Homo-oligomer: A and B are copies of this chain.
Amino acid sequence: MSRGEHQSKKLKHLGAALESGALAQVRRILNNDLQAADVAHLLESSPPKERNLLWGMIDDHNEGEVLQNLSDELQSWVMNRMSAQEMADAMSELDTDDVADLLQNLPNTVTQEVLTSMDAQDRARIEVALSYPEDSAGGLMNTDTVTVRPHITLEVVLRYLRRHRSLPEMTDSLLVVNRRDEFIGSLAINKILVSDTDATVREVMSTNIITINATMEDTEVARLFERHDLISAPVIDPASGKLLGRITIDDVVDVIREDADHSLMSMAGLDEDEDTFAPALKSSRRRAVWLGINLLTAFLASAVIGLFEATIEQVVALAVLMPIVASMGGVAGSQTLTLMIRGQAVGHIDGSNVRWLLSREFLVGAGNGVLWGLVVASATYFWFHDLKISLIIAAAIIINLIVAVMAGAFLPIWLKRLKIDPALAGSVLLTTITDVVGFFAFLGLAASFYF
- A residues with a Cβ closer than 8 A to B are 2-4, 15, 35, 37-38, 41, 44-47, 69, 158, 161-162, 164-167, 169-172, 189-190, 192-196, 208-213, 216, 224-229, 231, 236, 249-250, 253-254, 256-257, 260-261, 263-265, 267-270, 274, 276-277, 279-281, 283-284, 287-288, 290-292, 294-295, 297-299, 301-302, 305-306, 309, 312-313, 316-317, 319-324, 326-328, 331-332, 334-335, 337-339, 341-343, 346-350, 352-353, 356-357, 360, 363-364, 367-368, 371-372, 375-376, 379, 431, 435, 439
Contact = CB atoms under 8 A, between A and B. Distances in A.
A65 B3 CA distance: 35
A8 to B, nearest CB: 10
Contacts of A196: 162
Contact of A226 (B170, B257, B280): B257
Contacts of A299: 324, 379
Given A229-B250, A331-B291, A164 B194 contact: yes
What number of copies of this chain does the assembly contain?
A: 2
Most chain-B CB neighbours within 10 Å: which of A210, A317, A319? A319
A347 B41 contact: yes
Nearest to A330: B294
B190 A167 contact: yes
Contacts of A297: 327
A130 to B, nearest CB: 23
Contact of A256 (B256, B341, B342): B256
Q: In the A-B complex, list the 5 residue pairs whose CB atoms are closest, starting with the nearest.
A: A260-B260, A319-B319, A280-B363, A229-B250, A268-B338
Contacts of A360: 47, 277, 279-280, 283
A253 B225 contact: yes
26 contacts: A3-B208, A4-B212, A4-B216, A15-B352, A35-B227, A38-B227, A47-B356, A161-B193, A256-B257, A265-B339, A268-B338, A269-B331, A269-B335, A274-B339, A274-B342, A277-B353, A277-B360, A283-B360, A287-B332, A287-B368, A295-B375, A295-B376, A301-B327, A309-B320, A312-B316, A323-B435
B356 A277 contact: yes
A324 to B, nearest CB: 4
